[in-house]
């Protein structure tokens, strides 16, 4: 075994898929496996051969992959009670997968042995020993996952430790202690791991934790401190119930906080996290430590003033070390430093202490008081700064717009129509458009009016539209905030509008989206 301080064992493709809302096709699993290998994960658990056709297909296709770093693991159980290991079809399928590593789980909790398996503790130990030995004889590296180990140890330490001894006697390369119910605390994990090391001093120990108490990462760290040298987990913490130990969080802790080098290119961490989200069609977690959009976001004026002078005053590590970036937010909590930082980011020179900076800050605070939010609407903020600096050419003037919705009694679909009348460089433009809704019709009519003057806006499209009621106490008369996201195929920008009228709020956000694109030409 190559010397390494801690080995990383990924079970996203098996344990991760047991989480609600996390599904992967065979192709998805193959793509993720390739990314895990490129990132430097040591062992990739591909699934349970024979449990479903998808995992059988995965192992068949995975034979064609050429991993540069990782080893592929097949997951399964010990032989069944009172069945010879060579006659157990599930064990045979593990060998047929041709995975160089086989991970099997067995029962560590005496209650599970007698009440769930309905067998004796002696037979349970034989099931563990026989299965491990059989797989080792066939040239496999065997990882033994001691299911419910910590719960089993708390009930009967001797029984739990005896099951580990059975796996060691069979020739297991790793003994992995599993907090299957996710209910243990770091102090318990540490104490029990040290007891295992005392009983089995020469064995390589691993840790497999679940996040039911939101302690999966903390418990894994406690195990490493107590001598564990393998961590099992999933990308972004996906997994059954509340999830597994999040490798995306624990890897930078190991490497940057504990000085244990476990991957060659930690700066690819955020890319890996986002890749798995995208492939599994799950949203990115904005508040995820290390890789989330807000992980290095600063909003308070005093904080922004400090990080502009010394980033580590409010950042525990360099964002780039994990592939992330610093994000300065502008809001009603902002100070002038926020405005200066955002203007600098946009390439719009703004002097500290200038009347323009003070005016922009005051305008932002007033608008946020009125219900605006610029955190996800950087496009509208950029326009505000441009206007204050005189760096804005108004592309058109609105004369009027009108929308209508007509519903017929005979079952025909409703008609949504919008009329837009503009003045563009002194030339009137009047257009009418129908859409799937009044906002869609309004957007189409606006673009139709502007296209003869600005044909380049044909490449701009709307990719997101969100509506939020700001204060529900006013019921149907409440203010509405509309956020739209536009793209030209290369970049995205968010713009915002606020009004008691949802159509007016939508118009303001739509106009800002096109206006910004024209300003940036």
Alpha-carbon 337 to chain mean position = 30
Distance CA 280, CA 288 (A): 17
Average pLDDT along the chain, 521 residues, taken 10 residues at a time: 84 95 92 95 94 89 92 96 94 95 95 89 94 97 97 95 97 97 97 97 96 98 97 97 97 96 94 90 88 79 73 81 76 66 77 82 82 80 87 92 87 87 94 92 95 94 86 66 90 90 93 92 80
User: d(Cα 308, Cα 313) in Å, to the nearest integer?
Assistant: 9
Give the residue among 196, 162, 191 at the shortest CA–CA distance from 177. 196
- Please name which of 133, 132, 123, 86 lies closest in space to residue 105, comparing C-alpha atoms: 132
CA distance 97 to 90: 11
Domain 396-453 classification at class level = alpha beta
Is there a contact between 172 and 132 (Cβ–Cβ < 8 Å)? Answer: yes
Query: Of 348, 332, 147, nearest to 340 (Cα)?
Result: 348
Q: Nearest Cα to 24, choosing from 253, 300, 238?
A: 238
Beta pairing partners, 484: 465, 495
Distance CA 38, CA 226 (A): 29
CA 197, CA 189: separation in Å to the nearest integer? 12
Residue 460's alpha-carbon distances to 464, 467, 474, 487, in angstroms, are 13, 21, 35, 6
3-state helix, strand, coil in the chain (%, to 5): 45, 20, 35
Q: Write down the domain spans for the chain.
A: 7-279, 297-369, 396-453
Buried b (16+ CB within 10 A) or exposed e, 319-354: beebbbebbbbbbeebebbbbbbbbeeeeeebeeee
User: Would you tell me which CATH number, out of the four given (3.50.50.100, 1.10.3720.10, 1.10.340.30, 3.20.20.70), belongs to the domain 7-279?
Assistant: 3.20.20.70
* Strand partners of residue 481: 468, 498
- Half-sphere exposure in the Cβ direction for 471 (13 Å, CA): 12
Classify strands 480-487 and 492-499 as parallel, antiparallel or unpaired: antiparallel
Q: Which residue is it, tokens 């032989």?
A: 79
Report pLDDT for 460: 92
pLDDT of residue 327: 66
- Whole-model pTM: value is 0.72
**Any idea of the CA torsion for 275, 280, 283, 286, to the nearest 10 degrees?**
-40
Q: What is the dihedral of CA 372, 377, 381, 386, to 10 degrees?
A: -140
Coil, strand or helix at 212: coil
Give residue 345's pLDDT. Answer: 76
User: In which residue are the tokens 């409440």 written?
Assistant: 478
- HSE, side-chain direction, 13 A CA sphere, residue 459: 11
């Amino acid at each position: 075994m190559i010397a390494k301080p801690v080995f990383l064992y990924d079970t996203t493709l098996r344990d991760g898929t047991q989480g609600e809302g996390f599904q992967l096709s065979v192709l998805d699993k193959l793509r993720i496996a390739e990314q895990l290998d490129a990132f430097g994960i040591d062992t990739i658990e591909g699934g349970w051969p024979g449990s479903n056709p998808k995992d059988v297909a995965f192992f068949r296709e995975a034979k064609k992959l050429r991993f540069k770093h990782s080893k592929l693991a097949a997951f399964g159980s010990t032989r069944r009670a009172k069945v010879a290991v060579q006659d157990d079809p599930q064990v045979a399928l593990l060998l047929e997968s041709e995975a160089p590593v086989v991970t099997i789980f067995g029962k560590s909790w005496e209650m599970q042995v007698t009440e769930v398996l309905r067998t004796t503790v002696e037979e349970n130990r034989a099931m563990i020993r026989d299965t491990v030995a059989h797989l080792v004889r066939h040239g496999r590296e065997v990882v033994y996952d001691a299911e419910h180990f910590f719960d089993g140890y708390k009930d009967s330490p001797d029984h739990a430790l005896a099951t580990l001894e059975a796996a060691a006697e069979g020739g297991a390369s790793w003994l992995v202690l599993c907090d299957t119910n996710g209910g243990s605390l770091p102090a318990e994990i540490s104490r029990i791991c040290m007891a295992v090391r005392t009983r089995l001093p020469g064995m390589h120990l691993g840790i497999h934790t679940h996040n039911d108490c939101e302690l999966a990462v903390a418990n894994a760290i406690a195990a490493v401190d107590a001598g564990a040298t393998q961590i099992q987990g999933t990308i972004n913490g996906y997994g059954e119930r509340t999830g597994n130990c999040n490798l995306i969080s624990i890897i930078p802790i190991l490497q940057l906080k504990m000085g244990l080098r476990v991957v060659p290119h930690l700066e690819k961490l955020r890319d890996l996290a986002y890749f798995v989200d995208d492939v599994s069609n799950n949203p990115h977690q904005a508040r995820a430590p290390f890789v989330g959009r807000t992980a290095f976001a600063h909003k308070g004026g005093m904080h922004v003033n400090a990080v502009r002078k010394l980033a580590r005053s409010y950042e525990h590590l360099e964002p780039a070390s994990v592939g992330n970036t610093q994000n300065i937010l502008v809001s009603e909590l902002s100070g002038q430093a926020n405005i200066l930082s955002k203007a600098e980011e946009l390439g719009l020179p703004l002097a500290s202490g200038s009347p323009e900076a003070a005016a922009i800050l005051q305008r932002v605070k007033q608008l946020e008081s009125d219900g605006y939010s610029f955190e996800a609407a950087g496009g509208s903020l950029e326009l505000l700064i441009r206007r204050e600096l005189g760096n804005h050419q108004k592309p058109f003037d609105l004369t009027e717009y009108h929308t209508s919705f007509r519903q017929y009694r005979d079952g025909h679909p409703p008609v949504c129509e919008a009329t837009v009348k503009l003045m563009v460089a002194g030339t009137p433009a009047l257009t009418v458009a129908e859409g799937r809704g009044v906002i869609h019709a309004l957007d189409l009519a606006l673009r139709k009016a502007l296209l003869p003057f600005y044909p380049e806006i044909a490449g701009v499209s709307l990719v997101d539209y969100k509506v939020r009621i700001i204060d529900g106490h006013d019921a149907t008369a409440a203010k509405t905030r509309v956020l739209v996201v536009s793209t030209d195929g290369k970049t995205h920008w968010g713009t915002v509008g606020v009004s008691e009228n949802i159509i007016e709020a939508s118009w303001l956000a739509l106009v800002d989206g096109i206006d910004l694109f024209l300003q940036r030409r």
